Structure 1
Amino acid sequence: MTTPLGSAREWTDPTCPVARTIDLVGDRWSLLIVREAMDGAAAFTEFQQRLGIARNILADRLRRLVDYGILTSSPNPGGKRHIYELTEAGQDLFTTIVALRQWGERHAFIGNEPRSTLLDLDGSPVAELRPQTPAGKNLTAATTRVDKVG
């Protein structure tokens, strides 16, 4: 049974969108499973082989991602196994994955260490993500504020 993402549950910080997102997909394996689904993985064995994750942990994370409405699960037409696909909410994590990738490119590698590169379908590197005003001015933590509830 799929639980709507905003449904009642225990949240780390109920009014903060960042905290709620972390509550849903903030552990290491969940985001890597989402990344692999974006890269075409669909079967349990594909996720396991690509990630080297223990079967019990993978089963738990896949179940939670389905319950949270980030993945869907359907029976594989050729057998008893399931196929996992990103929902619209799961696909909407693409920008988050790209932001994490770009932060990692800038801060998690030393010099010319080998690393994967995200390219568009024409083979060009993806432009750096930067928050902007509607008028196109770059924003930073120093030039924004959070309007907190209550």
Structure 2
Amino acid sequence: MQRTSFRTYDCPAARALESVGDWWSILILRDAFQGLSRFDEFQKSLGVAPNILTRRLKHLTSEGLFERRCYQERPPRYEYVLTAKGRDFFPVLMSLFYWGLRHIPTDEVAMLLGDASSGAERKVAVTDAVTGEQLTPDNTTILAGPAADEAVRERIARMRAWYLGIDA
């Protein structure tokens, strides 16, 4: 089945999904943040078929989330190292982890987030980098960006009118 491409979408969230790919890719990135970097390590951790893992690693590398580095010449063996773009996925992964943690039964929780130094439990919040205010659906909206065309501006105006309770 051919996957839909979001490469031409205006929305940054849709474009980000194009880079990441699918759930296997997100789990591969999760494992990379836990120190895994080699094909066999990812396969053992995920139990994913080799052909699927090969495709996902190739996609993540072509999208610039991983850099492929040779660690053995004969036979050639490669590791997958997170790039700056890949490391920038960390807050997304932490938000997804925390969202999952909040919505599974407490007696099924096997992992928590913790401070690496102290071991204290961490809680995730998405905040504005300038003000420190927590972002919520009630205090956050979409604004037109530099590449917004008239259709995007009209869509944003409709969303803003809905948010403010104004008939558009």
- Classify the TM-score, shorter chain: 0.7 to 0.9
Q: 1:29-60 CA deviation, whole Å, 9 max, x = no partner?
A: 00000010110111100000000000000000
Sequence identity percentage = 34
Partner of 1:139: 135
Tell me the amino acid that sits aligned with residue 96 of structure 1: V
Report 1 or 2 for greater relative contact order, CA contacts < 8 Å, sequence distance ≥ 6.
1
Q: 1:76-132 CA deviation, whole Å, 9 max, x = no partner?
A: 23641111100000011110110000000111x113213212212221122322334
Separation of aligned partners in 1, 2:139 and 2:109: 34
Q: 1:103 aligned to 73, 80, 99, which one? A: 99
Q: Quick check: 1:42–1:85 contact (8 Å CA) kept in 2?
A: yes
**1:5-84 → structure 2 map (5 Å cutoff):** 11=6, 14-77=9-72, 79=74, 80-84=76-80
Moved beyond 2 Å, runs of 4+:
10-14, 130-139
Separation of aligned partners in 2, 1:140 and 1:114: 25
Partner of 1:6: none
Separation of aligned partners in 2, 1:121 and 1:25: 26
SS in structure 2 opposite 1:74? strand
Separation of aligned partners in 2, 1:74 and 1:133: 34
Q: Which has the larger radius of gyration?
A: 2
Number of residue pairs the alignment of both structures matches: 140
After the TM superposition, which of the residue ranges 21-30 and 122-131 deviates more from structure 2? Answer: 122-131
Q: Quick check: 1:70–1:88 contact (8 Å CA) kept in 2?
A: yes
Tell me the amino acid that sits aligned with residue 80 of structure 2: Y
After the TM superposition, which of the residue ranges 23-32 and 40-49 deviates more from structure 2? Answer: 23-32
RMSD: 1.8
Q: Quick check: 2:69–2:78 contact (8 Å CA) kept in 1?
A: yes
